[in-house]
Amino acid sequence: MAISVVGHANPDTDSVTSAIALATLLNAQGKEAKAGMQIAAAELNPESTTVLEKFGLTAPELLEDASGKEIALVDFSDIAQGPANLEAAELVAVVDHHKIGDVTTNNPILFRAEPVGCTGTVLNKMFKEAGVAIPKDVAGGMLAAILSDTVNFKSPTCTDEDKAAVNDLKIVAGVEDTEALFMDMLKAKSAVDGVPAKDLLFRDYKDFDMKGNKVGVGQLELATLDQVADIREALVGAMEEVKADGRHTVLLMLTDVVKEGTDLVVLSDDSALVEKAFDSKLDGNSMWIPGMMSRQKQTVPNLQDAFGCEGPDGISTVLSDFLSGRYLWRPGDLITRPPFFSSVWRTGNKGEFSSKRKITIPFRSMTAGAKFFTWRKV
């Protein structure tokens, strides 16, 4: 059975090209794999369509139901963002750069999650480590994904590793001017004329479970907010429709890439909670937040804190799951980045726990005996 590699719902360029890249890597390693995505190619967002066409890549095939399949996930690990019946699939791999979600497995799997700006950056490392050359077209897709996810290095999620990956990939892809590539992508991504408001909301949208509350966050990256001035009411109407479908809160990030900030449009059962999350006051149904560029690093974590998603109880639960074997991590592979924590370093304090989301637990290596590490939750 071929492994189906699939990204999250409402796929962005990283999700699409990472599915292609991981399938390519697995095939090169003798494991039959194919790239999939949860929508038809005709429904793909304009930026991703532009990238696929520019580099001559074939869109991943439609995968709506995971039941009975061998599945590898890229760019996400939340069940809610996966295809139908993901729990009934055999999960064999996860490659990601977000916080770890709620997928679980019965057997050890390949699990690679790193605190970088793009899954493409992680995959670039994996190709190198495997000694597999990245095809020119695949390198182009990965390059475009990193530029998109890091907003051309302006996002706070961007790391030196992302910049290094871009330098590697642009050579393989034959791209001399990454600035021009990014601007071509931005033109496609920010195009709004004639697009239904609900399609714009879902162009880059994710749902999150925050302590039992369903919270949706969409993002439109724009060259200027003037692009949506005439359709704001329609966008709010689309948000109201989506919120009515059982959501506590729906946010739409209207991100001005040039001014480097976000006009955050808010519909919530508790607007005061959202104001508290971002230490700002709503002006009508929105607030301007200078410097906000990233949903992953600046929007979702603030909301999670406001909803009370993190803290000792939550970390204890994750720790319990880890020790009981629900989360499996092979020590030699990712010693510096366990699946649900980052920033690992040695310490001698067994069982330490602090309010700053740091925890130290014993880890027993089969070859090196007992060691202790401190992991900080992200």
Query: DSSP H helical segments within the chain, as ranges?
Result: 13-28, 46-55, 119-130, 136-149, 160-173, 178-189, 197-201, 232-243, 271-278, 300-307, 312-323
Q: Are 162 and 146 in contact (CB under 8 A)?
A: yes
Secondary structure tally for the chain: helices H, strands E: 11, 14
Domains of the chain: 3-188 (3.90.1640.10), 197-307 (3.10.310.20), 312-377 (no CATH)
How far apart are the C-alpha atoms of 17 and 216, rounded to whole Å? 24
Residue whose C-alpha is closest to residue 12's, from 109, 151, 124, 125:
151
Q: Mean pLDDT score of the chain, rounded to an integer?
A: 85
**CB contact burial 338-375 (16+ within 10 A = b; e otherwise):** bbbbbebeeeeeeeeeeeebbbbeebeeeeeeeebbbb
Tens-digit pLDDT profile for the chain (378 aa)? 899 999 999 999 999 999 999 999 999 999 999 999 999 999 999 999 999 999 999 999 999 999 999 999 999 999 999 999 999 999 999 999 998 999 999 899 999 999 999 999 999 999 999 999 999 999 999 999 999 999 999 999 999 999 999 999 999 999 999 999 999 999 999 999 999 999 999 999 999 999 999 999 999 999 899 999 999 999 999 999 999 999 999 999 999 998 999 999 999 999 999 999 999 999 999 999 999 999 988 999 999 999 998 543 333 333 333 333 333 333 333 323 333 333 332 233 333 333 333 333 333 322 333 333 333 333
Tokens of 216: 């949706």
Burial (CB < 10 A; 0-12, 13-18, 19+), residue 183, is middle
Residue whose C-alpha is closest to residue 285's, from 274, 276, 293:
274
Q: Which residues sit opposite 96 in a β-bridge?
A: 113
How far apart are the C-alpha atoms of 7 and 143, rounded to whole Å? 17
Q: Is 179 left (phi over 0), alpha (psi -120 to 50) or beta?
A: alpha
Q: Which residues sit opposite 287 in a β-bridge?
A: 264
Backbone φ and ψ of 88, nearest 5°: -95, 5
Tokens of 246: 């059982």
pLDDT tens readout for residues 310-355: 543 333 333 333 333 333 333 333 323 333 333 332 233 333 333 3
List CB contacts of 91: < 8 A, sequence separation 6 or more. 71, 72, 73, 103, 105, 109
Q: Which residues sit opposite 286 in a β-bridge?
A: 265, 283
Backbone φ and ψ of 207, nearest 5°: -100, 145
